[in-house]
Amino acid sequence: MTEIYGTLGPACADRMILQKMFELGMTGMRLNLSHMSLTEADRMIRFMRSSGGEHAKLLIDLQGPEVRIGILPEAVLLENNSVIVLGQDIPVSPDILNEILEGDEILLDDGKILLKALEKTSEGIRARVLRGGRLSSRKSLAVPGKSFHLPTLTEADMENLRHAQEYEVYGVMLPFVRGKQDLIDLRRALNETGNEQIRIFAKIENMDGVDRIDELIPECNEIVIARGDLGNAVPLWELPKIQKYLSRKCREAGRPFMVVTQMLASMENSPVPTRAEVSDIYNAVLDGASSVMVTGETASGKYPAEVIRYLVNTVRS
């Protein structure tokens, strides 16, 4: 039976809403630890537990080797054709700035915003906004075709793992898995923090992960086909082919896999999904997905319970 996951966030941080989502058939929920810690999410987790019962599954999504911008005083609107300075207008780690070259395209917030690096200066990197939008703190940063050399786990990740048992975490999602050593490092960290029973969900979000899928499958409990950043790593029209390839690899190896990202994205603002979205969900299940998950749709969207209703009914149809 295909498992159904939502994502915890302000839009569903209410006992009545969460209870409705579980009644509709939701299996468990994901908590994105790029924006808060386990202890900071204590209230939301307790609401989830009281609404979903003892069998509700909690997945935590670590920071891992994912590149993100820093903290902005407030959200900023980046207008098309304007020039901004990474490292000054938008906080970015110096280690990341050092690896960005003139001419590189830079994707922010899962590709919603596109920049082009113009030149390096003493203040940072001047970049032109090719596709603008509103940008808030801690959004993702990616440069197509470029891998950044970051440790598998951050200090914040380790601190969250120390609290995982206390919150009865079912599974840990590791972003941007680059090779089996990332998963070995995570398993070692889980063992060291007394979390041997926790399942590992390996998120495939770049071509390193795609190219090394055969070595990743034995080192995790479930593969996550995370189409947000994966869709930034390749031309978007190649993404369906890669999803089918990863699905086939998992089926052949008998490894469960999850499909995630923009499954019902239109429902962040609409009570009804598009035909393409429900077809996408149905095809993921037809390909053998053991679980599907929505993210912003339930974390910050306007219709979290309706999202789960459409997701569950499409999966079970």
The burial class, CB within 10 Å (0-12 / 13-18 / 19+), for 72 is middle
Residue 210 within a domain: yes
DSSP for residue 99: H
With a CB cutoff of 8 Å and minimum separation 6, the contacts of 3 are 27, 28, 57, 290, 291, 292
CB 5 within 8 A of CB 291: yes
**Sequence-ordered list of residues with C-beta below 8 angstroms from that of 10, at least 6 positions apart, any chain:** 299, 300
In the block, residue with structure tokens 């009865």:
168
The pair of structure tokens assigned to 289 is 């997905």
Tell me phi and psi for residue 180, to 5 degrees. Answer: -65, -25
Same domain for 138 and 156, yes or no, is: no
Does residue 234 sit in the same domain as residue 137? no
Number of domains the chain contains: 2
Looking at residue 65, its pLDDT comes to 82
Q: What is the DSSP letter of 236?
A: G
Chain segment 211-233, per-residue pLDDT in tens: 999 999 999 999 999 999 899 88
| pLDDT for position 303 | 98
Which parts of the chain register pLDDT below 70? none
**Of the residues 110, 125, 142, the one at which a domain ends:** 142
Task: Give me the domain span that covers residue 88.
Answer: 76-142
The structure's pTM equals 0.86
pLDDT at 148: 81
- Structure confidence at residue 299 (pLDDT): 97
**What gap in Å lies between CA 77 and CA 229, rounded to an integer?**
22
Domain with residue 114: its CATH number is: 2.40.33.10
User: In terms of domains, do 8 and 59 share one?
Assistant: yes
> What pLDDT does 131 receive?
97
Q: Which of 98, 82, 76, 67 is nearest to 232 (CA)?
A: 67
Task: Report the DSSP beta bridge partners of residue 98.
Answer: none
pLDDT for 56 equals 92
